[in-house]
Amino acid sequence: MEPVTYDPIGVVESPFSKPEEVPRPSDEFVDATGTVHLKPEYEAGLKGLEEFSHVVLVSHLHEVAETRLRVTPIASRGEVGIFATSGTVRPNPIGTSVVELVELSGTELTVSNLDLADGTPILDIKPYAPKMTDLDDLEIGWMGD
């Protein structure tokens, strides 16, 4: 397979200066507000986004220095594979964060529930709009224990 390369569309301004300062995933939202600064050439792509309450930030976790295929999450029964978690030590350190869109002004998005460190490159932004309508069969594995 050929390598894949992306150019970030923007960067995060966050109250967390290092990844270690970002609270670990839990049942509660991260109580932090920050700003996503997009490059000016992407402003036209934001049209209509203000109609959504939440967005998904796709990021490059640029400060992740290691990769592990097995991890022991805090809430798990024990060791699980990295692909069964949202952990950062992945072969490709790509993050997805669902954040609340507080304000959109020009190329700046003010967001809350931010779980990214300051300076994190943003690869994409998507509106948060769940596609499944019937969640009766939803299973969340060890996360539901």
Query: Structural domain boundaries of the chain?
Result: 10-23+30-129
Cα–Cα distance, 56 to 39 (Å, whole number): 18
What's the whole-model pTM score? 0.88
Q: How many CA atoms lie within 13 A of 17 on its CB side?
A: 0
C-alpha torsion angle, residues 133, 136, 142, 144 (rounded to 10) = 100
Please determine, for residue 20, whether its predicted confidence score (pLDDT) is greater than 80. yes
- Between 138 and 109, the more confident residue is 109
How far apart CA 126 and CA 45 sit, in angstroms, is 10
The pLDDT value recorded for residue 69 is 93
Q: Which CATH architecture has domain 10-23+30-129?
A: Beta Barrel (2.40)
Measure the CA–CA gap between 69 and 67, rounded to whole angstroms: 7
Q: Is residue 26 scored above 90 in pLDDT?
A: no
Q: Look at residue 84 and tell me whether its pLDDT is greater than 70.
A: yes
